[in-house]
Amino acid sequence: MQPIKEIRSRTVVLPLADVDTDQIIPARFLTTTSREGLGKQLFHDWRFGNDGEKKQDFVLNKPAANGCKILVAGHNFGCGSSREHAPWALLDYGLQAVISTEIADIFRSNSLKNGFLPIVVNKKCHDWLLNNPGAEVSINVEESTLILPSGDCVKYPIDDFARYCLVEGIDQLGFLQQHEKEIQMFENSRQ
Amino acid sequence: MNKSASKTLFEKVWSSHLVKDETPDTPAIVYVDLHLMHEVTTPQAFSLLREKGLKVRRPDLTLGTMDHSIPTTPVKSFKDLAIVGQGAANQVKTMEDNCAEFGLELLGFDSELRGIVHVIGPELGATQPGKIIVCGDSHTSTHGAFGALAFGIGTTEVGHVLATQCLLQRKPKTFAIEVNGTLQTGVTAKDIILAIIGEIGVDGGTGHVIEYCGNAIQQMSMEARMTICNMSIEAGARAGMIGPDDTTMSWLKGRPRSPKGKAWDQAVEHWTSLASDRSAEYDRSVTIDGSAIEPMVTFGTNPGMVMPVAEEIPASGDSGFKKALNYMQLTPGKPLTESPVDVVFIGSCTNSRISDLEQAAKILEGRKVAEDVRMLVVPGSQQIKMQAEEKGLDKIFLESGAEWRESGCSMCLAMNGDTVPSGQLSVSTSNRNFEGRQGIGARTILASPLTAAASAIEGSVADPRPYLET
Ligand code: SF4
């Protein structure tokens, strides 16, 4: 994984609450055996009509969304299925972070393992972001802060280990493998 | 026992699996006793192993099946099963190849033990109290009904478990949901869990492991308990658990992979000790009066948008409510029972076990599925299919006009050829009513097998209670 220290971008706002991973990428696209190329199917049924045409009123289809790397979403983003295809699709599309007031557990865990940043802020900050689509914000991953256009700096919670892995570009499997001796001892103790 | 030493079921299972405890800087390393796999969430994990030249550490603790992308069309022999779509066919083949290459047990296409991953684990007796069980699938919470700590993981984590048999985890919080009282006629475990999700919300369990307790839970069969734990994820919880008791033991006794002889006695002693201590404390708790719960259905596009089937759709709600009702083409303030139904689906890891099929059959026996309604009955496993056929349930379904299928996930997620056509209304015993979950534009109402069967007969959403009066 590439180290991630900072993400700076305009925001694109999808204010709906409880966006589930079936919306992020519908199940019928999960017959893939690869993790590449899923961006095409991101939010497929919200982005495209039955005729395959782009729905012009969907936020990601609006010209203002071009090049945005930060998604501001409603409460409880990423609920439902554990499919890691969800963060893969978001990343492949070009998004790098989501900001909400709550992010579902499995989605958050999957995101962090792929370098997609799940950021939880308080309601006041969230309300401001919802009301100011396109705001230029930056995320300082090392400091765990979100910097608003006003210069206000909002600290967000993140597991220290997950942050360390993101900033250093560390693969968590490697960390587990370093504990081979302990794993072996644990197995022996249970026999 | 002194209070501080009291532990919950979760804490007992968690602490006995710590290869290394968590610190402020690092998560805990927990050991996994059983890793279940299916074809959809594993291919990329095997690719990773191959890239890194790694082996599977414990093939003996790893078990695969195929359920999501396989068809459920009735066939004489599995050889005749035609997979729908090149992607699905490739995925099934990839699963076979991966299991062969890494030396893993696969209850594959032609196995009589094949079925939905969360149905076959318990059925085989591989699911046992006190185990940590994981699978790249959020409904792994089902196995918690046995007092296991069972939770869904992502594909990267599937790779971690394959390579090291361990996971990096932060300790979740605990949440006791106590359900008391005698359930009314026509009220099942499905209605209870829908009512619970309605009460605590689709994010009510985030960051928590739920323990379901109370006399209503104690009186439930294992199958009902599995239905409850299954939908823990629909409340956002990490897992759902129920303390092992006599019901658990008698269900597991004699299963193919349950311990035998002396080992069984030792296991029972150990399993019994896992139940939460009386004075154990939880981070959060709620109490629910089970006797007040009525048959429940969803009316919106997430499992928290629930109502008693006989009542009117709520008149108003937030902006999400409007969007949901718009998608569902339902009118606020109107009864739901007037809505014409196109499809009825009995199946999924929530409600496809033998008792679910028996309940549906009880209502359908001697009656006909309404004209214009397509009804699918999809057993959770090939074993359940055989049991049902021994009991003659298949005949009841077929005579009523329903389809009797091979096992699989089927219409629960519409990636295998079984789909609800756009715009059609489906009453489904599955667990997710998200937009498009059962097919593009499909409108899903979640319900119990009783409510689903009654709705099939009436051709509109129906209260099952009149069918149960003697
Ligand atoms: S039946 Fe549905 S919820 Fe259960 S494992 Fe299959 S797809 Fe997932």
- State yes or no: pLDDT of B2 exceeds 50: no
Mutating to test ligand 1, I would choose from B42, B138, B349 the residue with most ligand atoms within 8 A of its C-beta, which is B349
Residues B106 and B221 in one domain: no
Residues B34 and B160 in one domain: yes
Residues B182 and B139 in one domain: no
Q: What is the CA radius of gyration of chain B?
A: 21
pLDDT in tens, A102-128: 999 999 999 999 999 999 999 999 999
Q: What percent of chain B has a predicted confidence (pLDDT) above 70?
A: 99
Residues B286 and B303 in one domain: no
Pick the last residue of a domain from B108, B134, B169: B169
Residues B242 and B362 in one domain: no
Domain count, chain A: 1
Confidence at B3, pLDDT banded by 50, 70, 90: very low
Contacts of A179 in chain B (CB under 8 A): 19-20, 29, 164, 166
Ligand 1 atom at shortest distance from the alpha carbon of B412:
2
Q: How far is CA B221 from the centre of its chain?
A: 15
Q: In terms of residue numbers, what domain contains A91?
A: 7-136
Residues B223 and B102 in one domain: no
CATH code for the domain of B403: 3.30.499.10
pLDDT in tens, B306-335: 999 999 999 988 879 999 999 999 999 999
Residues B281 and B337 in one domain: no
> Cβ of B432 and A20 within 8 Å?
yes
Separation of alpha carbons B443 and B300, rounded Å: 9
Residues B10 and B138 in one domain: yes
Q: What percent of chain A has a predicted confidence (pLDDT) above 70?
A: 100
The CA-based dihedral angle spanning residues B331, A46, B347, B222, taken in that order and rounded to the nearest 10 degrees:
-90
pLDDT in tens, B156-210: 999 999 999 999 999 999 999 999 999 999 999 999 999 999 999 999 999 999 9
Distance from CA of B39 to the nearest CA of A (A): 9
Residues B433 and B387 in one domain: yes
Q: What residues have CB less than 8 Å from B429, skipping those under 6 apart?
A: B190, B345, B346, B347, B348, B350, B351, B352, B356, B446, B447, B448, B449, B452
State whether residue B352 sits within 8 Å of chain A by CB.
Answer: no
B198 three-state secondary structure: helix
Tell me the average pLDDT of chain B: 96
State whether residue B164 sits within 8 Å of chain A by CB.
Answer: yes
- DSSP notation for A69-119: -EEEE-SSBTBS---THHHHHHHHHT--EEEES-B-HHHHHHHHTTT-EEE
Give pLDDT, residue B316. Answer: 84
Q: Mean per-residue pLDDT for B108-132? A: 97
* CA angle at B281 for the pair B279 and B286, rounded to the nearest 5°: 110
Give pLDDT, residue A145. Answer: 98
CB environment A54-72: b (16+ within 10 A), e (fewer): eeeebbbbeeebeebbbbb
Q: Could you report the predicted ipTM of this complex, rounded to two decimals?
A: 0.97
- State yes or no: pLDDT of B144 exceeds 80: yes
pLDDT in tens, B340-366: 999 999 999 999 999 999 999 999 999
Ramachandran sector of residue B289 (left: φ over 0; alpha: ψ -120 to 50; beta: rest): beta
Ligand 1 pocket at CB < 6 A: B 67-68, 116, 118, 137, 139, 348-349, 409, 412-413, 430-431
pLDDT in tens, A49-58: 989 999 999 9
CATH code for the domain of A78: 3.20.19.10
Which residues of B, range 305-324, sit inside 8 Å of A by Cβ? 318-320, 323
Residues B286 and B390 in one domain: no
Pick the last residue of a domain from B291, B308, B340: B291
Domain count, chain B: 3
- State yes or no: pLDDT of B1 exceeds 60: no
Contact B329, B313 (CB under 8 A): no
Residue in B160, B320, B413 closest to A173 by CB: B160
- State yes or no: pLDDT of B222 exceeds 80: yes
Nearest residue on chain A to B86, judged by CA atoms? Answer: A31
Residue in B44, B164, B236 closest to A177 by CB: B164
The Å distance, Cα B119 to ligand 1 centre, comes to 10
Residues B31 and B93 in one domain: yes
Which amino acid makes up residue B228? I
Residues B156 and B212 in one domain: no
Mutating to test ligand 1, I would choose from B42, B114, B116 the residue with most ligand atoms within 8 A of its C-beta, which is B116
Residue in B24, B159, B415 closest to A28 by CB: B415
Q: In terms of residue numbers, what domain contains B182?
A: 173-291
CATH code for the domain of B182: 3.40.1060.10
Ligand 1 atom at shortest distance from the alpha carbon of B352:
1
Pick the last residue of a domain from B260, B291, B322: B291
Give pLDDT, residue B212. Answer: 98
pLDDT in tens, A122-161: 999 999 999 999 999 999 999 999 999 999 999 999 999 9
> Cβ of A27 and B153 within 8 Å?
no
Give pLDDT, residue B10. Answer: 98
Give pLDDT, residue B82. Answer: 87
Taken as a whole, chain A contains a residue count of 191
Give pLDDT, residue B75. Answer: 86
